[in-house]
Amino acid sequence: MAKPKVLISDELSPRAVEIFSERGCDVDFKPGLKPAELREIIGNYEGLAIRSATKVTAEVMAVAKKLKVVGRAGIGVDNVDIKSATANGVVVMNTPFGNAITTAEHAIALMFAVARQVPEANASTQAGKWEKNKFMGTELSFKTLGLIGCGNIGSIVAERAIGLKMRVVAYDPFLSDQRATELGVEKATLEQVLARADFITVHTPLTEQTKNILSRANLMKTKKGVRIINCARGGLVDELAVRDLLVSGHIAGAGFDVFVEEPAKENVLFGAPNLVCTPHLGASTLEAQENVALQVAEQMSDYLLTGAIVNSLNMPNVTAEEAPRLAPFLDLAEKLGSFAGQLTDSDIKAVSVEYEGDVAALNVKPLSQVALMGVLRPQLTSVNMVNAPVIARERGIEMAEVKHERSSDYASMIRLTVTSEKFTRSVTGTLFGGTRPRIVNIKGMEIEAEFAPHMLYITNDDKPGFIGRLGSLLGENKVNIATFHLGRDTPGGSAIALVQVDQPISPELMDKIAKLESVVTAKLLGF
């Protein structure tokens, strides 16, 4: 049998080449390929190993006829078109834990550099000046560090900061009380972090929920003299606002390793006072590069040679024998999880998945994991079917899996229940025709609806006139209704509407919908 061919198109540790060869793959090391050059040769390879420089676009996927797996040596996959990869049957893997320590240490390094003005003092001293009185710094000891995001990297930052005798307050919707106690951090709201922190460092993925989380408005809520650190992702912090507040003196210093546009040859921040910038060095240590190179080479080799899938962002861990029967249930489980996850905005305590009917006789572990992934993914884009249970355990989220031998109203049924600080919500689904996912029950209310790209989820009081008011408002704004499904607990009680529409709904229109008479909550969902 011919050896699988792998292309390494970015700078990786030489150890990666050795591992591929030792495992039985043919490997070509060609870093620095231009996009056209990559498209010209990618059709010869089953595997593509990258870092952040190579852009794996839909155009690349279109000509990568043999490609089976893309392996990212690192966490972020912003440079990979995952949707296109999935459509082309290409597994996308990352190495989510290989550079966590390195990135956390860089955040601590920037905190020290900003607190003691190390770069400016170095430049001044080497220029022959001796401006000892100019560079008055501040200690980190006994200061309050505000963490926005307390996952894998954020928790390491917390441990290091506590070792420096700092007080740590953390905002993370997925941080449990137990995990906070284990780390020695205080759970806080975002408002509390902004108001109390002397230093603020962000460690979240860039999602619709976290984009611009340190906006101008939020930065204005911080105390005068705060110092801001971003080693996570560009786009989490309003760069122009930081510059303005550095100039005004409200922000005493800032350290940025990541930027909205990279490579950042120019940036609005550059030239601002008390600013320290580095060129995305968070993962740039010999140890981290060795770790992620080793991991990506092992993962890709195992997949190409044995079919094992580890740290995949778009494929569940399923054997070839199980795949045909599990495939439609995997789709249903993920959509049920996504449905619940998109409606959850507080700390998750537990997730339970129940199986009834024919599905209960299958290997349901991958179904439970993909359902959990669906719950977590609206907040954590790096989560996948493999690492979802690990992330849940880190956050103290209890996971339960139950098979019922009793018969149900459908041939197979999956019920997912999410318990958070504010509520317990369940959603039940089935397959119509054995392949088409449907919602059949929400919070005990019978309702039948398909999943769609643009869905309105509305809870309302069951009173006359609601449907007319909603339909008129959507019509006035030229939003076409595709399907309209209703459910209620009792006449005149609580009701649910699931409305599929043909186009996205603007935030302004959503505000109007939320203010309609009888509406309790309104949320726009997408699948």
State the catalytic residues: 233, 262, 280
**Measured between alpha carbons, how far is 512 from 365 in angstroms, rounded to an integer?**
42
**Measured between alpha carbons, how far is 63 from 40 in angstroms, rounded to an integer?**
8
**Residue located via tokens 């318990």:** 419
DSSP string, 49-76: EE-SSS-B-HHHHHH-TT--EEEESSS-
Dihedral angle, C-alpha 244, 247, 251, 252, nearest 10 °: 160
Check if the beta carbon of residue 282 is closer than 8 Å to that of residue 292: no
Number of other CB atoms surrounding residue 434 within 10 Å: 12
Check if the beta carbon of residue 341 is closer than 8 Å to that of residue 378: yes
Dihedral angle, C-alpha 53, 57, 61, 63, nearest 10 °: -90
**Measured between alpha carbons, how far is 83 from 8 in angstroms, rounded to an integer?**
22
Contacts of 12 (CB under 8 A, 6+ apart): 29, 31, 49, 51, 73, 289, 293, 296
**Measured between alpha carbons, how far is 427 from 335 in angstroms, rounded to an integer?**
10
Please list the residues that pair with 389 across neighbouring strands.
Answer: none
Tell me the residue type at 59.
E
Check if the beta carbon of residue 301 is closer than 8 Å to that of residue 112: no
**Measured between alpha carbons, how far is 334 from 269 in angstroms, rounded to an integer?**
40
Please name which of 228, 161, 232 lies closest in space to residue 381, comparing C-alpha atoms. Answer: 232
**Which long-range contacts link 212-219 to residues 24+ away (Cβ below 8 Å)?**
212/236, 212/237, 212/238, 213/148, 213/237, 214/148, 214/238, 214/242, 215/241, 216/240, 216/241, 216/244, 218/190, 218/194, 219/194, 219/245, 219/250, 219/251
Contacts of 399 (CB under 8 A, 6+ apart): 350, 351, 352, 368, 372, 389, 392
Helix or strand run (H / E) with residue 295: helix 286-306
DSSP string, 468-514: HHHHHHHHHTTPPEEEEEEEESSTTSEEEEEEEESS---HHHHHHHH
**Measured between alpha carbons, how far is 247 from 275 in angstroms, rounded to an integer?**
10
Q: ∠365-368-372 over CA atoms, to 5°?
A: 140
**Measured between alpha carbons, how far is 410 from 406 in angstroms, rounded to an integer?**
11
HEC letters along 246-266: HHHCCEEEEEECCCCCCCCCC
